[in-house]
A = this chain, B = another copy of it.
Amino acid sequence: MLPAGQPKFRRRKADRPDEIVAAAFEVFGEKGFAAARLDDIAARAGVSKGAIYLYFATKEDIFQAVVEQGVAPNLQNLAALAAANPQNFPDLLRGVARMMAHMASTTPLGGIIKMVVGEARNFPELARVWHDRLIVPALGTLTAVIAAAQARGEVQPGDPRLYAVSLISPLLVGVIWRETFTPIGAEPFDLAGLMEQHVETLLRGMVP
């Protein structure tokens, strides 16, 4: 991560905002927006409270940066999904599901989702950003793929948008479960296994 040749423990100023956002992401994810304290964020970022205000004007601005920054990496995956070469439909769906399960397992998607869901009423703009920039395109792409398969006769009749929701829902629920109930000792779900069984079952039901 650090540029080669830079002293290892000399933090570059340019990294500060990202470090703050990263720390803020953790704290917001754990406590929610209102319950998160600037003190905590500063401590976790290893900076003073005052330093945060060199980069962000208000607590809200930090939150916006966190949630908006959560959109970006997923957008790339979305592009990859759209560009997937469409072999046959079942394999495409399997590939998509596997990719999403991997993404869900390796990124802090759960924290982001909690924030967006929990603070949508207080920060409608954030909900809008997520809806417009990520969810609608992703759902739209998946819906289009399904509709195309229907047109080719590879998928049973039915609302393709609902098929898309059917497909991804267990992943979302699994991620939420991980954030909500696993910390209190609940039995966790294996996301990959869940999605594999789910997709196989759904596929058997979707193909004619």
The chain A residues found within 8 Å of chain B, CB to CB, are 30-35, 114, 116-122, 124, 127-128, 131, 135-136, 156, 158-159, 162-163, 165-166, 168-170, 172-174, 176, 179-181, 183-184, 186, 189, 193-194, 197-198, 200-206
User: Which residue on chain B has the smallest CB distance to residue A172?
Assistant: B173
Copies in the assembly, this chain = 4
Q: How far is the CA of A156 from the CA of B176 in the complex (A)?
A: 27
Q: Which B residue sits closest to A116, measured CB to CB?
A: B180
A121 and B120 CA atoms in complex are apart in Å by 18
B201 lies within 8 A of A205 (CB) = yes
A198 proximity list for chain B (CB < 8 A)? 162, 165-166
Instruction: Please state if A166 and B135 are interface contacts (CB–CB under 8 Å).
Output: no
Can you list 29 A-B pairs with a CB-CB distance of less than 8 A?
A30-B121, A32-B122, A33-B34, A114-B117, A117-B117, A117-B179, A117-B180, A118-B118, A120-B181, A121-B179, A124-B183, A127-B180, A127-B181, A127-B184, A156-B201, A159-B193, A159-B197, A162-B189, A162-B193, A162-B197, A163-B197, A165-B194, A168-B173, A169-B172, A172-B173, A173-B173, A200-B205, A202-B202, A204-B204
A203 to B206 alpha-carbon distance, docked (Å): 10
CB of B173 within 8 A of CB of A169, answer yes
State which of B114, B135, B156 has its C-beta within 8 Å of the C-beta of A118: B114
A201 touches B121 (CB 8 A): no
Q: Please indicate which of the listed interface residues A35, A181, A189, A204 has the most CB atoms of chain B within 10 Å of its own CB.
A: A181
Q: Is the CB of B169 within 8 A of A124?
A: no
Shortest CB–CB separation between residue A10 and chain B, in angstroms?
17
Q: Are B31 and A122 in contact (CB under 8 A)?
A: yes
Least Cβ distance of A145 to chain B in Å?
16
Complex Cα distance, B201 from A169, in Å, reads: 14
CB distance from A83 to the nearest CB of B (A): 25
